Structure 1
Amino acid sequence: MSVEYSGAGDPKRSLELLWDVRERPRRGPRPRLTVDRIVRAATEIADGEGLDALSMRRIADTLGVAPMSIYTYVPGKSELIDVMMDRALGEATPPREDLPWRDKLRHIARENWDLYHRHPWMLQVVTARPPLGPNLLDKYEYELRAVDGLGLTDVEMDSVVSLVTGFAASSARSSVDVAQAERRTGITDREWWEATSPFLEKVIDPGRYPLGMRVGAAAGEEYDGAIGPEHAFEFGLERVLDGIEALVRSRAAGEDA
């Protein structure tokens, strides 16, 4: 599975597409395509088959046009991925303003978790240079509002948002990997364990791994597999929030002092 990098194309062209400020011809026939149609087609391909399957030719075939016509609207795959990312981020919804801050961050984390499951290809995109489009900036704004007024510094607010969204992405990656492993191998986790267990029972001495055998058996029964991505996500999210709460309390205690 290949990795793509956001911001890898022409920054000016990407920003023009992201903010829809491209210069359009004032005369001539009505365009047969639009950037929106191209992005929707590209997203459907990536959703179903991953970014490895995405190419300008594949998009053109899907839309029933010549490959070169795509380049009239989008300069290349890199710029297209930037727009795809921003459009996908626009699907996430902000938390209600009346919620407590922990519930707001839970909502944000779960929205990110759901987003990566709807569009697993997003996990193939390294966003060290994020696509600075309107949806990304809107999302960042309401995520910051979730922790505004808690006594944190601006840098701490940014770090809290990065911690929560990064945790959601990492957890979603594990979950997506499990689903893809089952789909690509054709066997479930339970079937894999049933195939390996008879051999392991012969070669493993339980007395050598008493904790591993006991805890592993309990976890395997609970998860019905080697790992439980949803359980890990929910458990880890609460521990992340506990840590943030400790930070918030320490800031409040410092102000009182």
Structure 2
Amino acid sequence: MTYDSSRVWFITGASTGFGRAIARAALAAGNRVVATARDTTALADLASDPKVLALHLDVTDQATIDDAVRDALGAFGRIDVLVNNAGYGLRGAIEELDDADLRKQFDTNVFGVLAVTRAVLPTMRQQGSGLILQMSSVGGVTVALGGAAYAGTKFALEGLSEALAAEVAYFGIKVVLVEPGPFRTDFAGRSIRWAEPLAAYEPVLDAERTRFDAQDGQQPGDPDRAAEVILTIADMAEPPLRVPLGPQSFDRIRAALTARLAALDEIEPLARDTSYR
């Protein structure tokens, strides 16, 4: 497989998980990489490569976003691929979710993505080209028990990104939503937080808590193989808007959409005919 090695990749959350795997794959293909993270010490090994610019960026801090984009353009002159990867998961029943924690989840996973995207878009418009890779989730299409907060952010990202794709196509900019299933990243460990549990929800969520926590380090998906797919997508002249990743993602999304179509057919005789008579 050959990849376009002339691009500059700007990656948020590059210290671990998908961000790091994508950064490594892009470098291996000869690209230049702007690797960003809240803690740049975690980028030290990547930064040893002369094709890497390691920068501090907190997606909830506009000043750090603006500084990182400015420094990236100063060093490389362009940004060809934006990977909005930074984020984390908050889990628990809606009644268990603290409002401040829920707002922080949306600030990171939704408003942070929007802030970085808006900061990069002027450059891509001026270039007349660009690719925005939004790291969504199978949880952006279908919701598992305890996943209301995280899925809420990813459902929002899906709708916003679909609209964005239509808005920026005129400027030669592509948008792709990447929808991974379970991959062996920190998502089920360091990058997940549970709300304070309520006893009333024990019979609803206890088994799901146990299942979810037990998958940490056991997920079947290989982030490096996912990164290879993502680099291939980035080389497509007309990439798809949505890219599920892994068999679990395809199976869950297909089941959810099939069930939704069946439910649509079932309710149609009652709810379709609502026009004035």
TM-score normalized with structure 2 length: 0.27
Higher strand residue share: 2
Higher helix residue share: 1
